[in-house]
């Protein structure tokens, strides 16, 4: 979309500084240190509310658990068929269906981060019950989410590295709406309340571990745009329906069907838990909700307070000093329009044709370092308009050659040019001040106390750290040797 028209659209939401909702605060509390009893109770209340809200929603699970394997096979066949149709369309010259440009793809990575950064957490509460052989397969699934303690296989760590490779913060900088924290919050609530919500945990796992079409297409298009798809392709392989998490999830339901009590009540609770996997903002909503003009505006509004007062008074646009323009974020739509009107920004042209871009990039650029790599990509693609569909990275030298297909991430990786974000080989545990202290503490513990210390370090907020990885390795060895 040309910048000139995108900017004229009102964007009131971006103009308001976002206040964190109570739900978002609960997400962060559950993702931090082990929560106290009161916080766990609040998490349980939230789950009950969500279960009520989703109770009437459609669910494609079969009527009986005995049909689960047939259901899984049919779902997998449907996904395979639709993916084959997607590939045929692309091979016939069709455009990407998800990501219009590189900024769009990076925005997606950022927007789904609150969910991806707690990946696997819904199963955490089962780790302390690993001795129950009926639950052990689900504990295995949790350990696989944690990469069995290998840094290059831990899903959350992989995602954190993917974000870092593109200058996207894994911390909550307030730029994402509260709604994007809802799915991750559900997962964290299950993590800390497994005892009371065991059927729902099993049902959530069943629904969440099935391979969705969007995972395949996302992987394909990220790779095409030169962005490491490993986090996503890893899920295509580990969730496979033949022997992976998708099958294990079905097996777990059948293995855990009650022999005492009412299996139907259990099954209905499994179905209710499965519905929670669809709660919150879905992948397609995130992708379809991207508006590059609104994102540029949000970035400028976020920068305005820091930029106000940082410019000389002779820096002027449309007769007004930059300091005055940046005095309030509300002026940003008019400021961006003024940049276009005064030709500081040239819409629908190579970025270097805009004087504004040359302030950000190049030899002795006066504003070098003001914008993060992600923000530069958004501005870059916004300036280039439709041409940005070629996927050119903001720091690529020269104009992209339109006549040649750009190399995919995998092609770059094969040529050793993939840069940060490339999946690395197995790594040794890094030096970290917490690891010796943790190991010293473990030496003083035995039996159930030692097991509890390991499980505590495998919590969603810690398992991806060096201590968490070490704890996962030890837990694996000691519980499943």
Q: Name the residues that contact Fe ion, by CB under 5 A.
A: 119, 145, 155
Q: Least Å distance between CB 143 and Fe ion?
A: 12
Q: Helices 136-145 and 245-256 meet at what angle, rounded to 10?
A: 150
Q: Which two tokens stand for residue 324?
A: 């005055």
**By the 8 A CB rule, do 178 and 21 touch?**
yes
Identify which of residues 236 and 317 has a Cβ nearer to Fe ion in the complex.
236
Q: Let me know if 417 is exposed, middle or buried by CB neighbors in 10 A (0-12, 13-18, 19+).
A: exposed
Rounded alpha-carbon distances, angstroms, from residue 302 to 157, 206, 266, 457, 478? 27, 40, 48, 35, 49
Do residues 156 and 463 make contact, with C-beta atoms less than 8 angstroms apart?
Answer: yes
Tell the smallest beta-carbon distance from residue 144 to Fe ion (Å): 8
| Minimum CB–partner distance for residue 120 and Fe ion (Å) | 5
Q: Which is nearer to Fe ion, 237 or 448 (CB)?
A: 237
Measure the CA–CA gap between 25 and 363, rounded to whole angstroms. 43
Nearer to Fe ion, 119 or 375 (CB): 119
To Fe ion, the closest distance from the beta carbon of 265 in angstroms equals 30
Which lies closer to Fe ion via its Cβ, residue 236 or residue 334? 236
From the CB of 199, what's the least distance to Fe ion, in Å?
A: 22
Q: What is the Cα–Cα distance from 350 to 401, expressed in whole angstroms?
A: 12
CB of 356: closest distance to Fe ion in angstroms?
40
DSSP state letters, 104-135? HHHHHHHHTHHHHTTTTGGGGGGGGGTTSTTT
3-state secondary structure of 472: helix
> Which of 79, 351 has the CB closer to Fe ion?
79
How far apart CA 340 and CA 7 sit, in angstroms, is: 10
Least separation, in Å, of the C-beta of 473 and Fe ion? 18
Rank residues 110 and 155 by Cβ distance to Fe ion and give the closer one: 155
Sign of the C-alpha dihedral, residues 186, 188, 192, 194?
positive
Nearest residue to Fe ion on Cβ basis: 155
Closer by beta carbon to Fe ion, 155 or else 275: 155
Tell me the torsion sign for CA atoms 329, 330, 331, 334.
positive
């Amino acid at each position: 979309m040309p910048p000139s028209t995108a900017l004229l659209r009102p964007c009131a939401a971006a103009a308001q500084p976002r206040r964190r909702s109570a739900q978002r605060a609960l997400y962060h509390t559950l993702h931090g240190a082990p929560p106290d009893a009161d916080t766990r109770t609040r998490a349980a209340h939230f789950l009950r509310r969500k279960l009520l809200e989703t109770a009437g929603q459609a669910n494609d699970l079969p009527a009986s658990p005995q049909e689960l394997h047939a259901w899984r096979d049919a779902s997998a066949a449907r996904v395979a068929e639709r993916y084959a149709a997607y590939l045929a369309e692309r091979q016939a010259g069709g455009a990407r269906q998800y990501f219009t440009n590189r900024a769009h793809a990076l925005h997606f990575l950022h927007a789904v981060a609150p969910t991806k950064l707690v990946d696997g957490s819904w199963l955490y509460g089962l780790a302390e019950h690993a001795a129950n052989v009926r639950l052990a397969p689900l504990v295995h699934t949790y350990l696989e989410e944690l990469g069995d303690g290998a840094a290059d296989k831990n899903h959350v760590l992989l995602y954190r590295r993917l974000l870092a490779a593109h200058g996207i913060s894994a911390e909550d900088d307030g730029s994402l709406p509260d709604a994007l924290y809802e799915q991750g919050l559900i997962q964290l609530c299950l993590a800390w309340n497994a005892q009371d919500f065991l059927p729902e945990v099993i049902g959530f796992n069943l629904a969440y571990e099935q391979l969705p079409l969007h995972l395949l297409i996302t992987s394909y298009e990220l790779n095409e745009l030169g962005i490491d798809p490993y986090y996503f392709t890893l899920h295509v392989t580990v969730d496979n329906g033949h022997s992976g998490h998708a099958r294990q999830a079905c097996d777990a339901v059948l293995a855990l069907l009650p022999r005492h009590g009412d299996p139907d009540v259990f099954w209905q609770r499994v179905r209710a838990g499965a519905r929670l996997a669809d709660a919150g903002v879905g992948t397609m909503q995130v992708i379809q909700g991207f508006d590059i003009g609104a994102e540029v505006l949000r970035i400028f509004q976020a920068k305005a307070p820091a930029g106000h007062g940082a410019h000389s008074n002779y820096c002027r646009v449309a007769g007004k000093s930059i300091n005055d323009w940046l005095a309030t974020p509300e002026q940003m739509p008019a400021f961006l329009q003024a940049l276009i009107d005064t030709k500081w920004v040239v819409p629908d042209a190579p970025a270097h044709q805009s004087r504004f871009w040359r302030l950000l990039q190049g030899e002795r650029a006066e504003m070098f370092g003001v914008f993060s790599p992600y923000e530069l990509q958004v501005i870059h693609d916004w300036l280039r308009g439709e041409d940005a569909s070629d996927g050119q990275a903001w720091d690529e030298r020269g104009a992209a050659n339109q006549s040649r297909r750009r190399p995919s991430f995998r092609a770059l990786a094969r040529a050793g040019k993939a840069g940060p974000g490339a999946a690395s080989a197995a790594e040794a545990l890094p030096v970290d001040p917490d690891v010796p202290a943790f190991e010293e503490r473990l030496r003083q513990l035995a039996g159930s106390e030692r097991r509890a210390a390991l499980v505590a370090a495998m919590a969603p907020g810690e398992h991806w750290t060096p201590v968490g990885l070490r704890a996962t390795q030890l837990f694996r060895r000691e519980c499943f040797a």
